[in-house]
Structure 1
């Protein structure tokens, strides 16, 4: 029964309002149980860090995600390992063999020049949907706001489907300080001149998720979400938690004019 007025949520094969989970080794049987109940509130699944390369039953896991209409891809660390060892063609072949249609191009560990990343994106988008990542995994590296905006814009213009803002699974780098606090000035500047429907903000904790929901709206794209947290996150998006309790039915933030998908 639907009798409450809740914030309007995107649904189905949505293009924004995404929940992107990080899978750091969920056993296949447990994953099946979780997806049976919660697949409708999961859009993207990242096989975290470089773990895909050593994951047992990887093909079955990829097939399971796809069976539930969830888009799987490998974490950017695996891409960077392949870049470091000059194995990008082999990596792309590996993804095609697995039936993975999405690829992340990142430089969280390595310092890959922007031109090289754009060249790789140009190659990758012939066969894959591309997600680029901006920001470093080094919590002590403070990237200027202008550089964040410039890279995000360049990646979107290059044809990336989405751009991820680095936050790590710990929430202590990139868009966060080493103490875990959101760099709110950075976020406010990013959403001013860029389409936040094309950005995925890594938000591994409820504290981070609630910040973005209250700042940008219930249909903000959130990444690095733990599998065990997807239902609580959906409740937060729907104003069913104290910290998001007063979200309006049509949130008057950055996403309220966006058409539903």
Structure 2
């Protein structure tokens, strides 16, 4: 019996846009939010989608709720796929409120986390402390991602505050600044109560911060992902993506779904 020769997909079928970067990427990063995956589900996520994931956030304050050996294993698995993994920014806010920052940093370093999210979505945090946390994370060898925006329903973007936050965060060493949309994508930041993008606010942000490589947009809903890809191109950084939507989002990025087939002509 004649064995079939090894064949590969034509590159124009793998990525019709011709724009998708391999890891480590400078554009088009995807951040996944893990809200409680078991080890088997986590392994399935990485084996099917690991090449398309750049960051995994262990959502909000869930990190201490896992059996420690299981959490360590998840972190090791993510590292094997060159994925930055970090606890949600809300957990750091808890550490601030509880005056337990030293314990927090000791534990996340011991566990092997490779990233840190600095946010003030729920608490008030002065600029000095924000700077200190960014610098402390960098000093611990962590990749620092910051976040702009409050989590409260109906919260919006204050452009002048956003500009100041982004510029200072980057100056102090943040690799990315996340625009808050929570895990729901409803009634927060650039999204209205139905999850539709407020294009006027989006336009104001893009005018104020033209370098999209420093912004990561939380966009948990498919309609939001499609809209931002159509507006900003396949290189937009997207976050709070559900684990079971990674392959679907990657298809959107590459123009392999009808929603973004037009991105095929967006070759740069």
Q: TM-score, normalised by structure 1?
A: 0.92
Matches of 1:249 and 1:11, distance apart in 2: 20
Q: 2:16, 2:170 → 1: CA distance? A: 32
Alpha-carbon distance in 2 for matches of 1:170, 1:41 = 22
Among 55, 59, 83, the residue aligned to 1:48: 59
How many residues end up aligned between the 2 structures?
252
User: Aligned partners of 1:248, 1:192: CA distance in 2, in Å?
Assistant: 25
1:116 aligned residue: 129
Contact 1:16 1:198 survives alignment (8 Å): no
Residues 1:211 and 2:227 aligned together = yes
Cα distance in 2 for residues equivalent to 1:144 and 1:33: 40
Distance 1:242 1:149, change over 3 A: same
Q: Which residue of 1 aligns with 2:255?
A: 239
Query: Whose radius of gyration is greater, 1 or 2?
Result: 2
Q: Report the RMSD for the aligned CA atoms in angstroms.
A: 1.5
For 1:61 and 1:91, the matched residues in 2 are separated by 19
Aligned residue number for residue 259 of structure 1:
none
Which residue is equivalent to 2:21? 10
Specify the alignment match of 1:37 in structure 2.
48
Q: Deviations over 1:136-167 (max 9, x none)?
A: 00122334222122211111111101100000
Q: Deviations over 1:179-229 (max 9, x none)?
A: 312222222222234221111100101111011111111111000000100
C-alpha change, 1:40 and 1:163, in structure 2 (3 Å) is same
Larger mean CA deviation between 92-101 and 224-233 belongs to 92-101
Q: Distance in 2 between matches of 1:119 and 1:35?
A: 33
- Comparing 116-125 with 227-236, greater Cα deviation is found at 116-125
**Alpha-carbon distance in 2 for matches of 1:125, 1:22:** 22
* Contact residue 93 and residue 122 of structure 2 kept, 8 A: yes
Deviation at 1:124, TM superposition (A): 2.2
Q: Report the TM-score, using the length of structure 2 for normalisation.
A: 0.89
Matched with 1:70 is: 83
Instruction: Choose which of 177, 180, 194 in structure 1 pairs with 2:192.
Output: 177
Can you list the C-alpha shifts for 1:12-69, whole angstroms capped at 9, x where unaligned? 2112210110001111012112211211011110001110111231111111111122
1:174 and 1:112 mapped to 2: Cα distance? 19
Which residue number corresponds to residue 107 of structure 1?
A: 120
Partner SS for 2:48:
helix
Larger mean Cα displacement after TM superposition, 190-199 or 84-93: 190-199
The 5 A counterparts of 1:93-242 are 93-127=106-140, 128-172=142-186, 173-194=188-209, 195-242=211-258
Q: What is the CA–CA distance in structure 2 between the aligned matches of 1:99 and 1:200, rounded to whole Å?
A: 23
Unaligned 5+ runs, structure 2? 1-8
Distance 1:71 1:120 in 2: 18
